[in-house]
Amino acid sequence: MSVSMLSTFVKPMHPEGRKFVAIFAAITLVLFLLWEPLGWIGVGLTVWVYYFFRDPDRVVPNEDGIMVSPADGIVSLLEPAVPPIELGLGSEPMTRVSVFMSVFNCHVNRIPAAGRITTVAYHHGKFLNASLDKASEQNERNGITVELSDGRQYGVVQIAGLVARRIMCWSEEGSDMQRGERFGLIRFGSRLDIYLPSGAEPTVQIGQTMIAGETIIARLN
């Protein structure tokens, strides 16, 4: 199957972005009426908003025993950490992989490994810089716990940031999810923490670029 040049640059847009593109397009029309150079600035901002809400299809690897990245971005932390209490994963440290998303990344989030969602928990908090370690505890967040077919569990936490003030999670408790399936979105830059299940070994390193649904982030042993 060939890939056209157009499809390389033009990606599907998530429905959440339609109203924002419409707002920016309307503002752009007004700016053109006021002064043409301002109008072209509006065009650039409208294109950026569309680009932010892009939701491209991803080629999810079908290899057994792997977990994929839940977000586009850069691995910012890789360390043992106690998961948030609301996930119900216990008080012992688990390997945490943090993926930081800039405003230029695709912000649709995907399930790392197939399983059943047992917990969805929203926690109100601050809006600190999401790249900081303390953001895991202090920032507003939404966490899900997923149970694998072998009974092991892992957690994924969507964390708000300085600019990101809207966390969306449209998956519910009891939902059976497939690897790479979309489960949520964070508007305008933030971070995702993945708490790996026992026995899983991370395959990434700090500074590595992640592609949601495609990059293998860990192997299940």
Residue 215's alpha-carbon distances to 32, 66, 77, in angstroms, are 42, 10, 16
CB 190 within 8 A of CB 101: yes
Residue 108 gets the label, from left (phi > 0), alpha (psi -120 to 50) or beta, of: beta
Burial 141-168 (b: 16+ CB within 10 A, else e): bbbbbbebeeebbbbbbbbbbbebeebb
DSSP 8-state assignment for residue 75: E
Per DSSP, the three-state class of 194 is strand
The whole-angstrom distance between residue 128's C-alpha and the CA centroid of its chain comes to 17
* Catalytic residue IDs: 190
Give the tokens for residue 175: 């939902």
DSSP 8-state assignment for residue 162: S
